[in-house]
Every structure is written in C-alpha cells, then in structure tokens.
C-alpha cells in the first residue's frame, strides 16, 4: 500500500554566514565604499558648518576660531603691524568683496576636516580591516594613530612658532615701512606652515616602517648622524615658507629629536628580534640572478645536399 505523506515541512534555509576572510563580490565592495563615502561626506559637511559658525562665535566658552587663528598676528607689537581701525584693534586687511566670506569658508572647511576626523578615519579603518589579518590590523591601527598624532604635534608646533617667525620677517626694515597683511596672505602662510610641519613630523614613522619591513637597520645609520642632521637642517631651510631662521631652527631641531627617537627604536627592535638583512639584497645583479646556463654544443653532423632531381622538378 502506497504511503502518502501530507504536510511535509521544507527544511529551513540557513542564513548565509559571512566569509571569515572578509571577502565579498565586487558590487558589494562598491556598495560598501559608496556607503562609507556618503557617511564621511555627511560628517565633513556637519563639521564644516560647525567650523563656519565657530569662526565668529564663541560656543561653550571657547574663543572664536577666527580669533584663535589670528592670534599669532595679533601678538606682534603694535608698531610692527598696520592699524586699520584707529582704535588699536587687531584686524587683517581685505582687498576684495568676497575675501572675508571665502576665508571664513576655507577655515570652516579645515575645521570640519579636523572635527570630523574621528568619523571618516573610522570609515576608512572599517573599509580596509576586513581584508587584513589580525597582526596587520594591529599594526595598521597603531601606524594610523601615530601618523595622526605626529601631524597634530607638528601643526601645534607651527602655530606656536608662527608669531616668532612673523616678528623676524615683519620687523626687517620696520623703521621705513609697516607691513600690512591681507587675510588671504596671512592664512595661506599659516596653513602652509602647518602642513609643512605636520608632514615633516611623519619622517620618523617612515623610518620605523622601513625598519620593521627589514629594509633599514640601525647599523646602516648609526655612523651617519652628522650627514643626516645636516640634511635635516637643509631640508628645513628649503621647506619653511618664510625662510625665517626661527621657524627653520624649530623645525630642524624637532626633526632631529624625532629621527633620533626613531633610530633608537630601530636599535632596540634589531637587538630584540635579531633580524638579518636578506642575503639576496646584498648580492650583485649576476649573483642574484643565479648561474647562467651554458648553451648546448652544436652538432657537427654534415647536412646532406639537396638532390638534383628536386631542382629539375622545380625548373
């Protein structure tokens, strides 16, 4: 007798688990990239609005952002900078109708980048980490954190030495002239100095990365400190925008200290891990490519001449 099965239940579909290695199709990558870019841009827009408002207002008892940025210029003696108000107030000069608005928008955008950096850095971190191993995630997070910290330290140093550098530059020939800076000129000088100091402070991190990769060892640099220090001073002399001696000395001295700390890290890391330079990196081109195979000897067997009948057929 045939058995009739009624009301049979279908097996429940299992939820597709995510790949443990973080791999996904190309379209999924593009969708995730679009979502994280939108979140980062939204955070940047909100930060820019906050910076634009903060430029002229003082929220939470803080000084206005425009006053903070204008601080090094206003710290100069009154006989060095020009007075445009007649009451001794510190003001910069504007030469075009939209200059003040554009400067406020530029400062607000820069403030927005800084204020929203935790969000867009988190989005970048979340996008690249699924494809990394556990140790790679740890090293990447450490290097990103150090890079941001070093850049901020360089920017702060540039801000604090700016008034000294301005005083040196603007007091030259002050007995016959008075310097009148526009907002565009002053902000461009300030931002270029901040960027140069911040980027220069990343040099020690590059040295550490080369050491961890096995490319640079402490034995290669321990006897070349004088040349390296001279090179750092030459670099600072060319890179400081105003070429004033105070900013140059401040940048060079800070870089010398940071580079020496990086060298000490290389010394400790080489001693701890006892890593050796790969042998192939010390070989010349011929030794690295290996022995060249000798060509096989040519057979000396004579070749039989063509038959005459073949030529007759052709003719």
- The total number of residues shown for the chain amounts to 315
At 10 the pLDDT is 54
Sign, Cα dihedral of 12, 13, 18, 19: positive
**Inside any domain, residue 304:** no
More confident residue, 34 or 80: 34
Domains of the chain: total: 1
- Which two three-digit tokens encode residue 222? 């321990």
What pLDDT does residue 298 have? 59
Domain contains 80: yes
The verdict on residue 101 lying in a domain is yes
- What does the pLDDT look like over 148-191, one tens digit per residue? 889 989 999 999 988 888 888 887 766 777 777 888 888 888 88
Is 198 a member of any domain?
yes
Cα separation, 134 vs 144, whole angstroms? 16
Could you list the residue range(s) of the whole structural domain that residue 134 is in? 28-275
Digit-coded pLDDT (tens) for 211-237: 888 888 888 888 888 999 999 999 998
Of 87-101, 125-139, 263-277, 282-296, which gets the smallest average pLDDT?
Answer: 282-296
Write out pLDDT tens, residues 6-61: 544 555 555 444 555 556 677 888 888 899 999 999 999 999 999 999 988 877 77
Q: Is residue 70 part of a domain?
A: yes
**pLDDT digits 0-9 by tens, 242-277:** 777 888 999 999 999 999 999 999 999 888 876 455
Q: In this structure, is residue 93 part of a structural domain?
A: yes
Long-range contacts of 275-281 (CB under 8 A, 24+ apart): 275/214, 275/217, 277/214, 277/217, 278/214
The whole-number pLDDT of residue 38 equals 95
pLDDT given at position 275: 47
Q: Is 174 part of any domain?
A: yes
Partners of 116 in the β-ladder:
none
For residues 163 and 263, give the distance between their C-alpha atoms in angstroms, rounded to a whole number: 32
This prediction's pTM: 0.71
Inter-residue contact 151 to 60 (CB < 8 Å): no
Rounded CA separation 190/158 (Å): 8
**7 in a structural domain:** no
Rounded Cα distance between 96 and 81, Å, is: 20
pLDDT of residue 91: 83
pLDDT mean over 285-289 = 58
């Amino acid at each position: 007798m045939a058995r009739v099965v009624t009301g049979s239940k279908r097996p429940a579909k299992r939820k597709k688990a995510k790949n443990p290695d973080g791999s996904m199709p190309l379209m999924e990558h593009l969708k995730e990239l679009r979502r994280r870019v939108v979140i980062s841009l939204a955070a940047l827009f909100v930060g820019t609005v906050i910076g634009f408002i903060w430029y002229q207002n003082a929220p939470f008892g803080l000084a206005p952002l425009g006053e903070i940025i204008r601080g090094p210029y206003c710290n100069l003696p009154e006989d060095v900078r020009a007075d445009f108000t007649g009451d001794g107030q510190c003001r910069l000069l504007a030469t075009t109708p939209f200059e003040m608005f554009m400067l406020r928008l530029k400062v607000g955008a820069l403030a927005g980048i800084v204020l929203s950096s935790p969000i867009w850095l988190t989005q970048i971190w979340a996008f690249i980490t699924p494809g990394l191993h556990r140790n790679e995630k740890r090293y990447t997070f450490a290097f990103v954190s150090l890079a941001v910290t070093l850049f901020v330290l360089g920017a702060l140093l540039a801000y604090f030495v700016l008034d000294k550098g301005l005083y040196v530059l603007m007091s030259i020939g002050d007995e016959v002239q008075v310097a009148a800076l526009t907002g565009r000129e002053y902000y461009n000088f300030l931002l270029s100095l901040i960027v140069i100091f911040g980027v220069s402070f990343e040099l020690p991190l590059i040295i550490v990365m080369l050491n961890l990769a096995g490319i640079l060892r402490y034995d290669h640099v321990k006897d070349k400190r004088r040349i390296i220090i001279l090179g750092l001073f030459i670099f600072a002399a060319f890179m400081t925008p105003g070429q004033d001696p105070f900013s140059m000395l401040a940048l060079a001295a800070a870089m010398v200290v940071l580079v020496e700390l990086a060298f000490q890290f290389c010394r400790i890391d080489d001693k701890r891990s006892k890593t050796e330079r790969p042998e192939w990196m010390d070989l010349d081109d011929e030794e690295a490519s290996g022995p060249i195979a000798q060509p096989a000897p040519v057979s000396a067997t004579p070749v039989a001449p063509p038959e005459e009948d073949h030529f007759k057929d052709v003719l």
